[in-house]
Amino acid sequence: MRGGTVWTPDGRRDVDVCVSAGTVVAVEAGAGPGAVEVDARGLLVLPGGIDAHVHSRDPGFPEKEDFASLTAAAAAGGITTVVDMPNTVPAVENAAVLAEKAELASSRAIVDFALWGLLAGGSTPADVEGLLDAGAVGLKAYLGYAIRRSNRQVVYLPGAADPDLEPPPDYGTVARAAPDLARRGAPLAAHCEDPGVLRAFDRPLHRYADLLAARPALAEAVAIAALGVISQRTGLEVQVVHLSSALGLAAARDASRAGARIVLETCPQYLWLTDEDAERLGPPAKMYPAIRTPADRAALREALGARGIHRVATDHAPHADAEKLGRSLDEALPGSPGVETLYPSCLELARRLGDVSAAARWVAEGPARTLGLHPRKGVIQPGADADLVLVDPTAETVVSAGAMHSRQRHGALEGQRFGVAIRAVYARGELVARDGEPVARPGRGRLVRPAR
């Protein structure tokens, strides 16, 4: 790969990248020659993106997404590793389910993938150990979400008592599992919205203001504070996923200062949009946690620029169009696709903050380090997988549903303009997308395990 500006651990350098058998073997001027020469003049060469938070829906909901459509969208957008959440069906609650899911994903994925395991209300120490042994990057706790006994599906905030539901995980579940996770050096990712606060503020959603009132930032802050105390007492690393509010950010900072181990993840929708946009967009912008106020957006942007947030991921959560677009705000399911626009949106935000290549820290190096995938992933240096993204910093990308590859095409960033374009994407040295179109075959992706 010749003539590009390469994002390396030593900063941006005008060097060549030599790749052999899917691995970077040299990063220096005049490296090579290689069997295939790629002209990267005028382009940025960045490490392939890692989306630390996607919902493949596979297995479980093929009408929403599967690993083939998910990873086609990922490849098109410069994401060469997706990290899938465990609320597929059956839920990834033990080693056997994880192994089956890895095999299924391997048969369909275009790019590499890693897997989260589930910490459920009924998880045993053997379940936790087994998931980590089987290669989970960590465990995910959905506070207040139960599991349906009959089909092992994670059920969102159940209301009335239902004998078919197992009790959801709570702070006690986390406290009980924390010492084992800490001993293994494995993180707990948590959906941080306190179920008690959500129940207290629940209401019908006539307009977007109702959704903000029903899912207040307080719910996020309360959950982060409680998990922070558990972290202080046990050494557990808590990864706050999809951080959405200034109040949650403040709670995380307080917890860190008090000795908690907190990793922060936010998403493009919270960095780009506000409640005004969400009101205009309607159901495509319905997600949990909610898209909030301009002050929340400003706080998240500032923290990201100051390296106070460790990674940006999408919470890519597609539904069938009929479950979103044809429904009222109240009836539409929460969640939207985003994996394809992660890198471009972050590049644009980074450009505005003064250094376009800072996006590589947010979506490649940051997730790789916080998930135990570094230095195999997330970096361009000898020995790393040759996951490379060629970016034209002078072109433009306009987000358009018609050009997307997820099964649900209409996302919250529809119509946004980014002053960059992803030209080519290589995954372990193989071209997987060119000018926004996937060109690789399903079934080449592999499970990536954390090194810890």
Which residues in this chain contact Zn ion in the complex, by CB under 5 A?
Answer: 315
Distance CA 22, CA 161 (A): 52
- Shortest approach of Zn ion to residue 85 CB, angstroms? 5
Nearer to Zn ion, 64 or 446 (CB): 64
Distance CA 353, CA 288 (A): 27
Distance CA 307, CA 318 (A): 29
Pairing status of strand 188-191 against strand 139-142: parallel
Nearer to Zn ion, 191 or 297 (CB): 191
* Closest residue by Cα to residue 407 from 318, 326, 338: 318
Nearer to Zn ion, 59 or 334 (CB): 334
How many other CB atoms sit within 10 Å of the CB of residue 14?
11
Distance of CA 446 to the CA centre of its chain: 18
Q: CB neighbours of 49 closer than 8 A, spacing ≥ 6?
A: 74, 77, 78, 79, 80, 81, 342, 343, 363, 364, 389
- Shortest approach of Zn ion to residue 51 CB, angstroms? 11
- Shortest approach of Zn ion to residue 157 CB, angstroms? 14
Nearer to Zn ion, 123 or 336 (CB): 336
Total length of the chain: 452
- Shortest approach of Zn ion to residue 367 CB, angstroms? 14
Nearer to Zn ion, 8 or 88 (CB): 88
Nearer to Zn ion, 53 or 374 (CB): 53
Distance CA 345, CA 73 (A): 15
Sign of CA dihedral 445, 450, 423, 409: positive
Nearer to Zn ion, 7 or 270 (CB): 270
Reading the block at residue 172, the tokens are: 């006690």
Nearer to Zn ion, 215 or 376 (CB): 215
- Shortest approach of Zn ion to residue 273 CB, angstroms? 17
Assess contact for 277 and 287: CB atoms under 8 A: no
The full DSSP string for 69-100 is HHHHHHHHTTEEEEEE-S-SSS---SHHHHHH
- Shortest approach of Zn ion to residue 106 CB, angstroms? 22
- Name the closest residue to Zn ion (Cβ): 315
Assess contact for 408 and 65: CB atoms under 8 A: yes
- Shortest approach of Zn ion to residue 388 CB, angstroms? 27
- Shortest approach of Zn ion to residue 248 CB, angstroms? 15
